[in-house]
Structure 1
Amino acid sequence: MRKAVIHSSGAHYLLLILILSLSVCPVFSQTQVNAPKDTLIVKPVDSISTPDTVQKKKSSQEITDTVYYEADQIDYDSDNKILTLIGKSTMRYQKITLNADTIVYDINNSLFTAGGNPMLIDNTDTTVGEQMVYNIKTRRGRVQYATTHLSDGYFHGARIVKTPKDEVYVEAGDYTTCERAENPHYFFYGKNIKIIPKDKIVSRPVVLNIGNTPVAALPYFVFPIEKNRKSGILTPSWGGHPTGGGYIENIGYYYVPNDYVDFLARGKVTEFREFVLEGASKYAWKYHLNGSINARSVVSTAFANESIQWALDYAHNQQLTPSGLTTLTGRGNLISNKKLYQESSEDADELTNQNLTANFAFAHRFEKINASLNVAWDRTHNLTTDSISENLPSIKFNLPSRPIFPQKEGESSDSAKWYNKITIGYNASGNVRHIKVKSDNLLDTFNSGLHNAISLNAPLSLFKHIRITPSINARLSTFDSYTDTTLLGIRYDTLLVYDTLKSTSRDNRHTDYTEVKRDTLTKDNRGDPDSIIITKSKIIKNELRRSNDSIIHNAWWDAGISASTNLYGLFPIRIFNFAGLRHTFSPSVSYTFTPEYNQDKYFANIGIPYATATKQRQVMTFSLSNQFDGKILKSVKEEEKPSEVKFSILSGSVSASYDFEAEKEKWSDLSVNASTGIKMIRLSYSSSFWLYDQNSSLSAPILKTMSLSLSTGSLGARGKLWGGNLLELDSLTKFDKNRHEKGGAQNWEFSFTPSYSYSMSRATQTSIFIPTKNYGLNASASINFTPNWSLTWNSEYNFKENQWIRNSINIHCDLECWDMRFQWRPERLNPGYYFVVNIKKIPEIKWEQRQ
């Protein structure tokens, strides 16, 4: 046997000499090598075809690429074709890298045997151990006392075997996602573990260890490691409540048939007396449609309170044509019983929302005539009064104003004649309104109607600065029924509402209702009432009149003319960087004529307009508007001209009208409005004044109503606190300066949004004002004690009820491989707490507690 030995000390080795001298090996004798001084390159045997043979088709397990080697010393056995790498040995083949103290490569069998801290890197997966055998043809390997990193997880085992399918078998090993693999915060031990990359981990049995302490065990368990959506059985969770009892939830299956849709079915069981079944689906087809649907059914088998309730939430958005001119959209929430959220929901938004809306709309835009059509179904469910109002459906068609005598194509708008500016517009609407009110006398009605409107306008310019616009409007409404104005009698109906609150809270809702009874919803740990539900009633007076189910039309028209202009004034006021003031004065006057209508019928309120009984009216309306704008100069570079920034300072308007046909008090109330603001602060004022005294004599303006509102938007501050890790200073462990400084400066933030409104009004000129105040506050704050520990606070305070409507305190801790969250809600709507600790990369493994 001949053996070639190369010793390399400085430049390691040069394999080119070895390849040229070993003519007994066809591979080495016929392969051209271009390699660095310290690199060995071996070409595969089947990469060279001989002249006397036909090259065979490569099998899937043949080596088809170059193998690279590095080492301090290389021993080559040319008879047996065995290559031995000694000292800082490295082998690279495609995306596989093997590092070890010693590597023995059997070229005939494509087999590597490595010892002395071997490390195998295959793409992003890393395996280390005491001894390693690996076949680069079959990609099958075996490692003794190994550690490997696969799919964001770390595995330790007495023996690890890798198959050609990249599946890994671990004998007597453990698994963790903690990056502190040598001393993890947690790990799962299994006697037999199988890893299917990008799919799952199967262990039999499995023991969960926190630190080195076993805390839970199962005979068989499957860990999902697939990052993409995948079908499978959901991981159940369980818990308990002091008054509600124990429960188990998330029992179900998740199904993904393709990339466009998925399905979810799961359930929850509470003390075998309440069952919640939920089905959900999400779908998306790019450029075509997307949406979601969620349905749940709540079955209660409690004694004397058996019920089946349901809820449906959905969202849909679809383009029916490639051009996007035709769409189908919808979004909504539906429930079968108004108490469903109160009795079975823990979501704060569901508990606070007292008006559930749902809709579906078909829309089409007629591009050639610039018109639009909308057909919609919409529904509103008032949970307070348990009344439902829905349109089945509503139809709207709109044809915007356009010239009756348009200009010729290509003509400039400046050359338009007066008749080219006469425009006509048309719109139509129809509706079928269904109203259902649950009371002692159930109200369930269907009414329909149709409305058509035509408008004609002829805008003109006088002296180039005054805009004069005459107009005429004609309308026709059609109804399927009407009610006579003759009063037949009076009926009193009872409306019931239900208010839920803490037993210690003050009841300030529905003060115009009378309390009927109080019932206990939940009890505290001592058995005392914790939350209660108050039933209240209110008597509603209904006037009885005769209804007629017959088609009837209602037509009316009006005409008018208006004139307006804008006057501008500039004041070159210069104070500091204030560069000027602009005043815009906009006077306008309009005249409207409405003929007399003798209307002796009432029509249902279904969103279709109609004319009411009125005398002939001729009304002149006057309006004066003022707008003050400022301009400041912002300094830039010395060579450049300063930039101008314009902003609004103050706006105000005054308006009133005069009715020529009125028998007395021809002047209407005088309206005065104003608003101003600086950055985020906005102040608004509105008021109305009588222009007649209590004897109907013309007088100076007398205040009737006034309202003042102040809004600021969100105000806040943010900054940085101590530099470093605060808890590091307070911990019981030895202070580590480097670790402390790596914590960096910690952030804090605080914001609040106050709102205030004040209004007062009176019925007569001599009565006293009745004031009304509304003010509230939304606030939030956050602080990071360390890079891993944070505290946040979110709240909403109602000053009228003098209590927190929403108030939550949240603590979050990132424990490297664990995630801990705690929420405490000392509030009225949804009081309680929620605590959860879960493995970040396996969120299904968690411990949670809630109340």
Structure 2
Amino acid sequence: MYHPLRTLLFFTVFLTALNYSWSQELPSSNTPIPIKEEPKPEEEKKLKVNAEDLIKPQDSTKQDSTATEKKPFLEYKLVSKANRKRIDRRNNIITLYENAIIEYGDTKLEAGKIVIDNNTGDVFAYGIVNDSTQAYEQKPVFTQGTNVVEPDSIIFNKDSKKALTYNSRTTQGEFNVFAETTKKVNDSVFYMKRARFTTSSNPDNPEYYFLAQKIKFVPKKKIVTGLVNMWIADVPTPIGLPFAYFPMTEERKSGVIVPSFGNNVNQGYFLQNGGYYFAINDYVDLTVLGDYFTNGSYGFRVESSYAKRYSFNGNFRFSYENQVQSERGFSDFRKSTIYNINWQHSQDPKANPDSRFSASVNLGSSRFYSNSFNQINQAATLNNNFSSSINYSKTFQGEPQVNFNIGVTHSQLVQTGEVTMNLPNFQGSVSRVFPFAPKFGAKKGIIENINLQYNVRAENRITTTDEDFLSDRMFEGAQSGVRHTIPVATNFKVGPFSVSANANYEETWVFQTTKTTAVINDQGLATTEIDTLSGFDSYRTYRYGASVGTTIYGLWENSNKKGKYQAIRHTIRLIFRIRQILVLINITIVF
């Protein structure tokens, strides 16, 4: 397998060795220099080439199939820099001093001193000691693309391709890894001794880390460790595992999520966002996270994302926190629980044009965003209202067409804690139908033009508080009702008159009514008592209307052709309704 560092070091040694490997000492003046003899006539004949053979066409079938275009000796330009260079031809050793740099492609090796021993094939890179401060400076830095390793020293053998690094530091994904000794067996396997890894934001002085005595690291594949123990502020804790496995792949795989460590003024030391990730399949995943504080507070979250191409996608999150403030026995001790449910779902319009489902849910404790000890979305703390909606609609094609919609809405005021829900809302409709119309031909007369529609709306409204939400008291003040509406209309002609008539029928069903009673007390004053009665009841309302209208057309022509106009055309529309007469006049002058 191609390895940039191996190629870099090999070509550095090879090119530098060209300066002396092919040189020779000049002979002394007493030693005669041999003179090259002229070729003999027989040999001279062998060297002659017939010109006709050069221009003779070659048989393409006899070409060597193994002949390929030669690749350049170096794929990239090799650059080496240093303040001082030393070449020991006797011992076959090259040394680069102070700010030594070797670059090849995207690979770069920097160190205070780089020594290349061409006899053994070993390459050493390490820092130098400052004479004035006695500090160890210019430590080796190996960079390959975005991956950076910073050890105290490096030993590499160009023949065996093995390497040793001491006190190295690198970043692998979200891990900052420190190892006392790292052994490179081949291009794909590394062994580490006494390795520390952490997700702390301060890798130089982490407040917590995990210590493993032995680690096997396979780049971009996995990290396998033996006994792992957690350290907090450089103090070992009893928290540990007999072994651990961390997948390092671009593909989704289930695995442990390492928690972060810190200190909270109110809850004490904590471990947050630790848990497990489940890569269930290509369509859905699941993440379970938890938080724990030393004063007894805890919380957990369940998160899931799902998607199916050309069908739907969404995500779900449920958070719960049990918060403890201060300690038992103190006056400021307080214990409370908060939660939040967030669900977003959308359907691809191409999935089913006749039905659609969507959801946008954000409900929970009113003080969740302001009091949560694991709040990431700081902008959400400014929200004064939580709102949610879930809707499903369906259309049945045909004659008549039937539509219905079922929805749930939720509104919650953060300041007052008042919660209003419509659970559920139902709307249905049947398109306009002509029950007496003929199957073929135009509709004529009052009967054939009769048409009607049907609409229904049902609603269950709940008004409660944040404390009573999702409890038995939540439904105590619920109000429910159903309203049916049937509009009927027709039109016909009577001579020159057009007649249209319409009626509207509404019926309302309720499941709770109020009874008002006037009561006269002992002082002779009348008071009103209102009683709430449970049970089914209904009432109906009617509306009707009719109109008669006609249109009168007139034309007056200018027969003597005097003036600028030729004719006056007018239209008069008369509409007679109940308790209403409309006269519409339209006059047009033709010039």
- TM-score if structure 1 supplies the norm length? 0.37
Give 1 or 2: higher strand fraction.
1
